[in-house]
Amino acid sequence: MFDNLAAYLQAALTSRRSDRQQRLNHIGIAVVEIEDRRLVSAVLDNSPAFEAGLRRGDRIVSVNGEPFHPVYSFNPQPPAVPEPDRQVFRLVFSRNGAEQEVAVTPIFNNLFDSYRSAVEASAQQFNVGNKVIGYVRLWGISRNANDLVVLQRIMADLGTTSSLIVDLRNAAGYLDREHLALFLPGDFGDYYSSPLALIIDRFTSGPAEAFVRELSRLERVTSVGSATAGGLQPELPADWPLDSTSANDPQFEAALGFLAGLF
């Protein structure tokens, strides 16, 4: 049993057999520890944490009156193996210096399943004047045929938008040529050819970072946000400190404003 969420996510990504993927009870968040504070760095769309109103930058204080631990607050400690636990937990978090309490019921699966299901839940369209701007967050993508079909369906739905935001913050999985084909000119011409804004930050790494580098070669693609894990700098800088007290997402707003300004 692992003691951090990143290890469970990596185990789910690298295991080829679903029956060997590590499952656990979780609420759909990514957590970063800074000076003994556990801060939420991302909240998966449609997750228990999302439904409870948690957001990036919140400091989780306790669960059921005990100090918060990303894994052990919802699962037994070793050598016990995680099993489904549908009890309602009382979670206390701090936002802007004020503590709040919410009720959350964890889900039990391998963590990557929550990442991949969050992709479809993230897709949106925004009316800006007489134009429509699309949005999708690539939380978790794999080479699995089903995942590719889902992404193809999402892109088909967003294909008529005037421009598109692709969010690659906290992106997990494997982005390769088949995924790039949805955005790059190909033999059949069936790809997204309108302006693209790619949102990146320090949690954009690995294949997602390579994905950004490849797409950024196109004149119609602009990267927005802050430097990636590998040092890739955005064309349009927009910082968002993890301990920011703002309820808004300045990186998303910068991408939306940039695309709106193209009309």
Q: What are the tens digits of pLDDT across the range 201-239?
A: 999 999 999 999 999 999 999 999 999 999 999 999 999
Q: Which of 126, 125, 52, 135 is nearest to 89 (CA)?
A: 52
Q: Which CATH architecture has domain 5-111?
A: Roll (2.30)
Handedness of CA 241, 60, 136, 14 (dihedral sign): positive
Q: What are the tens digits of pLDDT across the range 95-147?
A: 988 999 999 999 999 999 999 999 999 999 999 988 999 999 999 998 888 89
Superfamily of domain 123-260: 2-enoyl-CoA Hydratase; Chain A, domain 1 (3.90.226.10)
- The reply to whether omega before 79 is within 30° of 0 (cis) is yes
CATH 2.30.42.10 residue window(s) in the chain? 5-111
Q: Which of 220, 219, 214, 254 is nearest to 237 (CA)?
A: 254
Backbone phi and psi for residue 203, each to the nearest 5 degrees, phi listed first: -95, 10
Which pTM value belongs to this model? 0.94
**What are 45's two structure tokens?**
């769309």
CATH 3.90.226.10 residue window(s) in the chain? 123-260
